[in-house]
Structure 1
Amino acid sequence: MRLPVALPLCATLALLGGCTTTNTDSTSATSAIELRFLGRYESGVFDGSAAEIVAYDATTHETFVVNANSGKVDVLSMKNPMSPTKIKTLDVSQDVAKLMGITLGAANSVSVHNGMMAVAIEAKPKQDMGYVAFYKIEDHTFITAVKVGALPDMVTFSHDGKHVVVANEGEPNDAYTIDPEGSVSIISISSDLSTLSQKDVTEVSFRDFNNGGSRAAERPAGLRIFGPNATVAQDLEPEYITVSKDNRYAFVSLQENNGIAKIDLAKKSIETIWALGAKDYNQPGNELDISDKDKTIQLQNWPVLGLYMPDSIASYMVSGKTYIVTANEGDSRDYKGFSEELRVKDLAESNSHLTLTSPLNHSIEGQLEDDNNLGRMKITSTLGADHCELVKGTPTNCTFTTLYGYGARSFSIWSGENGKQVFDSGSDFERITAEQLGENGFNASNDSNKADGRSDDKGPEPEALTLGQIDGRTYAFIGLERVGGIMVYDITTPEKAQFIQYLTSRDFAADVKTSAAGDLGPEGMSFVSKEDSPTGQALLIVGNEVSGTTSVYGISPR
């Protein structure tokens, strides 16, 4: 079916606060807010990871922006949110290098709490142990650094400031000959950071879950362990962390493994690991556009599954129960030494074929490998196939009975008690962006204005995520990494989350390498309550990786 284009391209509205659409059906929220673009800081660096993760300090009204590849953190004044201004750059990689006498790589994440700032920095090479650097926010002075696991990809303070928790992703090298273990570092924090030392760091390992390990039997069915010659500890790749409101648990997304680890912060140990399962795109409400070559918007059901594979995650508490919110981006392993990626149309080249067990629509029977149908879909070679032979790292002679893609093109809410899903936004993101942007911008990538360019892969690719409370209600803000823009949902009642607004500042008529294009590639977000805001208005601050911009949105009752 062809989805009618209900609204015109709204790029011309970018200077007036961007494009916006709100839900008008019977599920609309009775209490709503409105997001409106206020201003941005432009680094002038296109597609160089010059603005990724952001963290806001309420005392100084400063935002700390990870300028990733440079190994630096930019300090922006937010005293006037309509005109953020850079006041300083902290060379965190150099500060740690001087202290430790080593060379370091990219800065990956930043977090602030009560006058302290922590920055995660990877080693060079990134398979070596990384570091977390600490700064005093008041005068931006470097205090000290401690060693953590390989490739510290995300760092966060607990709400009480007693711990800093670090997700050490432990990615392999490109040849897949060196694959460090993924882990979670817990740093115990005292009031005097100058006394911090390596003895305050506990590395939480997954080794007990290895084959033959004391907890191997606890590994959930469906947890993806598939790297060549990798142990479980090597294969698990912690991506992002959220700490429960009561500071009891840290929940860690294991993106490539399609799971979440629950860490007991008091015991400094893993309580459990959950496998997240897959989304059935053949069910009503889960429609998707699956081809980038059909030259139109086609949202329909397909006999395929999507692995949730969350990137950013957040948590909140309702009636004493913790819920986890995930941005279901998806991510494959695609290295020179090993790649799991396949396209459906290319299966015949490896003498493989499809025998799908899901019911097929008669109109696509016999046409699955066509570029206008499933042929362009990227799938994993590690699931859904029987009788495979591995030849030079490539699966051959396979019979695929089920097709698994990457990501779920949605956000989800899960129980923090048992990991069960209580809500998923289904096909909302593609349906809403199709209505809002029309055929000129639908499923475009973040570095190209070519429409429909990401339909075969992960669609709008939700990645950035943060939560905020306004007037007693809880809202989720989800950034779409590829097509751009922010989705806003009222998640006060987890099982009945309601769409509120979609807003984008992107101009699809402008050259993506110019500032006229707006914000591209939202990577990290920070919510600022009205109590902590310099203007008394709640704010959303967004780091945009591709455009290198840090944008600010005002949040007001509608």
Structure 2
Amino acid sequence: MLRNKKWIALWVLAVAFQACVKDHNPQPDPTENPAAFREVSSTKIGGEAAAEISAYDPASKRLFTVNNEAKALVDVLDLSALPKVIKIQSIDISALGGVANSVSVSDGKLAIALEATNKQANGSVIVMDTKTLTQLKQITVGALPDMVTFSPDGKYIVTANEGEPNATYTNDPAGSISIIDVTNNYSIRTLTFDSFAPLQAQLQTGGFRIFGPNASFAQDIEPEYVAISQDSKKAWVTLQENNGIAEVDLLGGAIIKLHPLGTVDVSLPENAIDPSNEDGKIVFATWPIKSLYLPDAISYFNVNNAGYLITANEGDAREYDAFVEQARISTLKLDPSKFPNAATLQKKEQLGRLYVTKTLGDTDQDGDYDELYTFGGRGFSIREAATGQLIYNSGKSMEEEVVKAGAYDDSRSDDKGVEPEGITVGMVNGKPIAFIALERADAVAIYDVSNPKAPQFLQLLRTGDAPEGILFVAPDKSPNGRSMLIVSSEGDGTVKVYQPDRL
């Protein structure tokens, strides 16, 4: 009898020990519902510009969020007791340069993209230890590093160096892409686009744009965002203002191809838009115009061993003291043979309020516009990573979902609509799920992209004001063993965490 009691006691201790281990090492939940994400935590770290881009370290369970409200900071938040979030401290990097633009984490290292105090000078990447917060390295990259990311294997740090001109357009640095080899003492190779200049005419035929005043081909290129393949061999970088994507060989350290993105035909029913913010209603209709994709964020995902690229087609216009490319259609002279009903189209209730570029459309160079090109796709697109071929464009469908949810801001109808800015793809229950941050709708749209040619809308989440940073954390890296969607909103300085319901 005593022996049995001893065995029972040992069994109870073993069960208790396993429960303790499980509590401290939560296992991934295999039954999550990707159509039912809910907000579990909201943290306000400041006001406008206080929460831009975030990166998560699974080892320390810390979140690092760019905060430029007053000066260049990276706020450190402890997520180990989620839903409770505790701000630990701020990393002050203002003495090292200008504005912090982006962060990324890999294997206990935090990379921070920091532009120079003089925005047209070369910026840098600061590498820090995620636990001790000590600086490991500062590496000089190209001008205005706007986005930084580690490759999945942690070997490379890649930056998109936008190279914006100054206000007078008298100093326009070359746009570039920097590849830092972490395993080789942070050796760096910064790539520019000079070698593609002979292809300018061919690229422009496909919708690529080179149009800055007195800018060379390399100066006019403005890299924006980076996505990297799962095998860490290739990167794709959006060239937003240029309406293109650069394909990069990380192993060879070279830009191997530029992909022009073409335009969206708004005269087709599936691409209908609401172009007026002064008609007192939301109506999607077709119009005799085209729209430039001009993508901001890009993400890579894999389905059945095939790679795909998904882009948030935000749209962007160059606006400087010396050069403003956009104008309302009501202010332009339209070719009467191409627009016989110009007087009607230019009314504010129709196309008059819509912004278009002045750099395209006068095809016969006679001083009036034969075609009209507006900014942004107002949705997302999916392309084959191997070829760059477009296989899906959301057209009007995503904005229609925003209208159904009562989140559409009609005051932005004349200016890029919901303005998709951030995008990422995460695996939920073995399915690739896309999350698209909509800056002007204060929301995130969620889609199942298991069939990249026919994504399925799942849910619209309300966020803080102007969501910019969007980050997915897989269950095995999360503090509680459940998927996390982390949204940083620059308009109101909030960081929100969402998790899916269990099925």
Residue range with higher mean Cα deviation, 428-437 or 457-466: 428-437
Q: What residue in structure 2 maps to residue 26 of structure 1?
A: none
8 Å contact kept, 1:32–1:557: no
Q: What residue in structure 2 maps to residue 4 of structure 1?
A: none
CA separation of 1:253 and 1:378: change in aligned 2, threshold 3 A = same
The reply to whether residue 484 of structure 1 matches residue 442 of structure 2 is: yes
Q: What residue in structure 1 maps to residue 354 of structure 2?
A: 377
8 Å contact kept, 2:484–2:498: yes
Paired residues, number: 469
Shift of 1:138: 1.6
* Aligned pairs for 1:164-313 within 5 A: 164-190=157-183, 195-196=185-186, 200-211=187-198, 219=203, 221=205, 222-313=207-298
Shift of 1:81: 3.1
Q: What residue in structure 2 maps to residue 118 of structure 1?
A: 111
Q: What residue in structure 2 maps to residue 521 of structure 1?
A: 466
Residue range with higher mean Cα deviation, 135-144 or 161-170: 135-144
Residue range with higher mean Cα deviation, 68-77 or 53-62: 68-77
1-structure distance, mates of 2:222, 2:126: 22
8 Å contact kept, 2:336–2:342: no
* Aligned pairs for 1:289-368 within 5 A: 289-347=274-332, 352-355=333-336, 357=338, 366-368=343-345
The reply to whether residue 130 of structure 1 matches residue 107 of structure 2 is: no
Residue type at the aligned position of 2:293:
Y
Shift of 1:430: 1.9
SS at match of 2:421: strand
Residue range with higher mean Cα deviation, 466-475 or 77-86: 77-86
8 Å contact kept, 1:110–1:119: yes
- Offset from partner CA, 1:22-49 (integer Å, 9 cap, x none): xxxxxxxxx853111111110231x2x1
Shift of 1:218: 6.8
Residue type at the aligned position of 1:42:
K
2-structure distance, mates of 1:178, 1:414: 35
Q: What residue in structure 2 maps to residue 543 of structure 1?
A: 488
8 Å contact kept, 1:220–1:274: no
Residue type at the aligned position of 1:64:
F
SS at match of 1:386: coil
Say which one has the larger Rg. 2
Q: What residue in structure 1 maps to residue 22 of structure 2?
A: none
Residue range with higher mean Cα deviation, 148-157 or 218-227: 218-227
CA separation of 1:527 and 1:401: change in aligned 2, threshold 3 A = same
8 Å contact kept, 2:211–2:359: yes
The reply to whether residue 416 of structure 1 matches residue 409 of structure 2 is: no
Output the TM-score relative to the length of structure 2.
Answer: 0.90
Shift of 1:148: 0.4
8 Å contact kept, 1:242–1:313: yes
Q: What residue in structure 2 maps to residue 449 of structure 1?
A: none
- Offset from partner CA, 1:449-503 (integer Å, 9 cap, x none): xxx1100010010001111001110000001001211100000111111111112
Shift of 1:530: 1.2
- Offset from partner CA, 1:297-337 (integer Å, 9 cap, x none): 11111111111011010001223321100000000101111
2-structure distance, mates of 1:148, 1:384: 36
8 Å contact kept, 2:248–2:256: yes
2-structure distance, mates of 1:386, 1:138: 58
CA separation of 1:58 and 1:307: change in aligned 2, threshold 3 A = same
Residue type at the aligned position of 2:55:
A
8 Å contact kept, 1:353–1:400: yes
1-structure distance, mates of 2:230, 2:470: 19
Q: What residue in structure 1 maps to residue 5 of structure 2?
A: none
Partner of residue 434 from structure 1, selected from 396, 403, 422 = 403
2-structure distance, mates of 1:278, 1:266: 32
Residue type at the aligned position of 1:497:
P
1-structure distance, mates of 2:120, 2:390: 34
- Offset from partner CA, 1:346-389 (integer Å, 9 cap, x none): 11xxxx2244748x9xxx7741010000000000011111354x
8 Å contact kept, 1:77–1:86: yes
Q: What residue in structure 1 maps to residue 73 of structure 2?
A: 72
Residue type at the aligned position of 2:395:
G
Q: What residue in structure 2 maps to residue 464 of structure 1?
A: 422
1-structure distance, mates of 2:81, 2:293: 38
2-structure distance, mates of 1:111, 1:401: 45
Residue type at the aligned position of 1:210:
A
How high is the sequence identity, in percent, across the aligned residues? 41
Which blocks of at least 5 consecutive residues in structure 2 are unaligned?
1-32
Residue range with higher mean Cα deviation, 251-260 or 59-68: 59-68
RMSD value over aligned CA atoms? 1.8
2-structure distance, mates of 1:489, 1:65: 25
2-structure distance, mates of 1:299, 1:433: 13
Residue type at the aligned position of 1:72:
L
1-structure distance, mates of 2:426, 2:134: 30
Q: What residue in structure 2 maps to residue 512 of structure 1?
A: none
CA separation of 1:202 and 1:218: change in aligned 2, threshold 3 A = farther
CA separation of 1:301 and 1:557: change in aligned 2, threshold 3 A = farther
- Offset from partner CA, 1:29-80 (integer Å, 9 cap, x none): xx853111111110231x2x11001111111111100113521100111123
1-structure distance, mates of 2:335, 2:52: 40
Q: What residue in structure 2 maps to residue 162 of structure 1?
A: 155
Which blocks of at least 5 consecutive residues in structure 1 are unaligned?
1-30, 98-103, 389-396, 444-451, 506-518
Shift of 1:554: 0.8
8 Å contact kept, 1:355–1:400: no
2-structure distance, mates of 1:324, 1:375: 34
8 Å contact kept, 2:157–2:182: yes
Output the TM-score relative to the length of structure 1.
Answer: 0.81
8 Å contact kept, 1:307–1:407: yes
SS at match of 1:147: strand
The reply to whether residue 406 of structure 1 matches residue 375 of structure 2 is: yes
Shift of 1:181: 0.2
* Aligned pairs for 1:500-519 within 5 A: 500-505=458-463, 519=464
SS at match of 2:356: strand
Residue type at the aligned position of 2:276:
S
